[in-house]
Amino acid sequence: MTSAQVIGWTREQMAARVALDIPDGAYVNLGIGIPELVASFVPEGRRIIYHTENGMIGMGPPPTDGQGDPELINAGKRKVTELPGAAYFHHADSFAMIRGGHIDVSVLGALQVARNGDLANWSTGEPGAIPAVGGAMDLCAGVKRVYVITTHCTKAGEPKLVDVCTLPFTGLGVVNRVYTELAVINITPEGFRLVELAPGVSFDDVQQRTGAPLLPKSEHAERITP
């Protein structure tokens, strides 16, 4: 690890960068935490339909009147609104959408991502921790593209992008792309490959904070053009 300070993108900028890669007309499921920010940064003119696992498509932003309905909430159990064209459904239908390949993009948080796309995001494995999994394993199993948005390292400075996950798995070989404050990185058959650096961040900065070899940016454009 280097002691030099590297800042890169803010959380909002990370979320905005994810939003750039979400195609027009996509059905998208956002996980709890940083992924929720993505909804605020959809580029103008692009229509994204948000799915929330607790039984709704066409989810809108939090209510602005400070009121809302305690029975109209998102997966993070925060109040949201319904947009024109919204629909409600029960949990088995909601996960049929997820597991059945009907959702185009899932944006999840992570504890660790391995170079082969394995994801660990539900358990720190610490003694006394209460295990809780929610819908992450179903999302990994069934959504067409899984994007991870996360800090590049843990609070203790350990890389979250690793050779092999040491924490309990959520899914195997499921992650397509990782967005951190330092870079956008693709999971490829060869391992982690740089897609884009945050301003002021060098390839070496990212490699030093990554627990597996980082491949240089490909000659071919890898940004997913919507």
Partner 1 sequence: MITPSAESEFPAMLGKTCPSVHEAIADVHDGAVVMVGGFGEAGSPIELLHTLIDQGAHDLTIISNNCGSGEVGLAALFKAGRVRKVICSFPKTANSTVFPDLYRAGKCELELVPQGTLAERIRAGGAGIPAFYTPAAVGTPLAEGKETRIFDGRPYLMERALRADFALIKGRVADATGNIIYNKTARNFGPIMAMAADVAIVQVQRIVSPGEIDPEAVITPGIFVKRVVEVANPAHESDLVAAGVSYP
> Active-site residue numbers?
53
Residue number with CB closer to partner 1 (37 or 167): 167
Sheet holding 161-162, edge to edge: 119-120, 112-114, 161-162
- Of 112, 116, 170, 186, the one binding partner 1 by CB under 8 A: 170
For residue 44, what are its two tokens? Answer: 């103008």
Sheet holding 105-108, edge to edge: 81-88, 56-60, 49-52, 27-30, 105-108, 145-149, 177-179, 183-188, 191-197, 214-215
Scanning 4-12, 22-30, 34-42, 49-57 for contacts with partner 1 by CB under 8 A, the matching segment is: 49-57
Under rule CB under 8 A, residue 91 binds partner 1: yes
Under rule CB under 8 A, residue 135 binds partner 1: yes
**Could you give the CA distance from residue 106 to residue 35 in angstroms, rounded to a whole number?**
9
Under rule CB under 8 A, residue 187 binds partner 1: no
Least distance in angstroms from the C-beta of 206 to partner 1: 28
List the one residue out of 103, 99, 84, 108 whose CA is nearest residue 25.
103
Under rule CB under 8 A, residue 72 binds partner 1: yes
Residue number with CB closer to partner 1 (42 or 73): 73
**Could you give the CA distance from residue 161 to residue 110 in angstroms, rounded to a whole number?**
9
Scanning 8-16, 17-25, 88-96, 106-114 for contacts with partner 1 by CB under 8 A, the matching segment is: 88-96
How big is the site for partner 1, counted in residues (CB under 8 A)? Answer: 40
